[in-house]
Amino acid sequence: MSLINLAFKKAKNKKRPALLTYTVAGDSSKKKSLEILKSIAKYADICEIGFPHNTPIADGGQIQSSAYRALKNGIKIKDVFSIVRDFKRSATPKPIILMGYYNMIYQYGDNNFINICKKSGVDGLIVVDLPYPENKDFAKKCKKKNISFIQLVSPTTSLIRMKKIIMDSHDMVYYISMLSTTGGKLKVSPEKILKKYNKIKSLNKNKNIVIGFGITEKTIASLRKADGLVVGSALCKEISKSVENRQNPVTNVTNIVKRLRKKIL
């Protein structure tokens, strides 16, 4: 069983959704982003790490700020992999999902990128601008190396398309809760989101479906019936705030993740 599946199983056994965090590699610095990961891993089940791109077409302000900060600090792809390696060697490693835009993978070369992911201990990949079915070949290559390629489903995805996507998906599927970039305010009621979620779930009960976009301390409890919940922008925002106030982002972000975890117990 893959580490990602195992993480979902563990959470399910405790009758709670898996908690997935998203932070950007290199934010607020290379060292700090690793410390943040190590620290929040105590409370998170799966950690997503963004490899920052300077022309993100689907990220809201909070994640953009994190990405620009990381790039300003000179973060390179090789640093992202070294953060993953160090994290995987730490005392409480969790499954790692890398998330980013396709151009960076494309410049690296698909195979090259996937190989280094494997070597570094990456468990899954989300590529924001490589949709289905264009991602089929890439997803196959990932599967060969036992890396989960995570398909996305959105409120605009038709039922026919959804069926195809679910059929070709690996361990986990990411449901985008609403029409929004990351970090938008939840503009759809949790009931509506869960209704759509149940529809996706009914297509294949064995897939782990996570909900992301608009999830904060305020909204997380209302969606706790899902297999997993992703919190990203709220954490990136906290890092920005900490940097601004000259506080330690590690402590502040960890406190949020701790509180998020409590809300879904």
Partner 1 sequence: MIKLKKKIPLIDQHDKNGFWGGKFGGNFIPETLKKPVEDLSILFERLRYNKSFIKQRDYHFKNYIGSPTSFIKLQKLSNHLGGAQIYAKMVSEANGGAHKIYNATVHCLIAKKAGKKYVVGDTGAGYAGKMLSMAAKRFGLKCKIFMGAKDIKRQKPNVDAMKKNGANVVPVYSGSQTLVDAVSECMRYWVSNCDNTHMCVGSTVGPNIFVKICGWSTAQISRELKFQIQSEFKKIPKKVKLINCVGGGSSAYGFWSEFIDYEKKQIELIGVEAGGPRSSKLHAAPLTNGAKLGILHGAAAYVCQNSEGQINETDSISAGLDYPGVSPIHCFLKDTKRARYTSATDEHALDAYKLVTKLEKINPSLEPSHAFAEAIKIAPKLGKNTIIIVNSCGDAKKDRDILKARLGNNK
Binding site for partner 1 (CB under 8 A): 53-60, 64, 68, 71, 76-77, 101-108, 128-132, 134, 152-158, 161, 176, 179-181, 184
Catalytic residue among 48, 123, 227, 238: 48
CB nearer partner 1, residue 62 or residue 254? 62
Taken in order 247, 79, 118, 232, is the CA torsion positive or negative?
positive
> In the bound complex, what is the minimum distance in angstroms from residue 251's beta carbon to partner 1?
29
Q: What is the DSSP letter of 150?
A: P
Task: Compute the distance between CA of residue 143 and CA of residue 140 in angstroms, rounded to an integer.
Answer: 5
Q: Select 55 or 202, whichever has its Cβ closest to partner 1.
A: 55
Element spanning 64, H or E? helix 61-72
Q: How far is the CB of 203 from partner 1 (least distance, A)?
A: 16
Give the side-chain half-sphere CA count within 13 A for 20. Answer: 30
Shortest separation between residue 106's beta carbon and partner 1, angstroms: 6
96 neighbors 121 (Cβ within 8 angstroms): yes
- Is 45 a residue of the active site? no
Cβ count near 78 (within 10 Å): 10
Beta carbon nearer to partner 1, 76 or 262: 76
**Rg of the chain (C-alpha set):** 17
Nearest residue to 97 via CA among 116, 77, 123:
123
Rounded least distance, CB 217 to partner 1, Å: 22
Which CB, 41 or 100, lies closer to partner 1?
Answer: 100
Q: Which of 18, 8, 21, 78 is nearest to 49 (CA)?
A: 21
Calculated CA dihedral for residues 233, 3, 43, 166, nearest 10 degrees: 40
Q: At closest approach, how far in Å is the CB of 1 from partner 1?
A: 27
- Between CA 105 and CA 115 the distance in angstroms is 11
- Nearer Cβ to partner 1, position 5 or 180? 180
CB nearer to partner 1: give 77 or 223.
77
Catalytic residue among 27, 35, 45, 59: 59
Q: Is 123 a catalytic residue?
A: no
* Environment class of 131 (CB within 10 Å of its CB; exposed 0-12, middle 13-18, buried 19+): middle
* CB 35 to partner 1: min, Å: 24
Q: CB of 17 within 8 A of CB of 11?
A: yes
- Residues serving a catalytic function are 48, 59
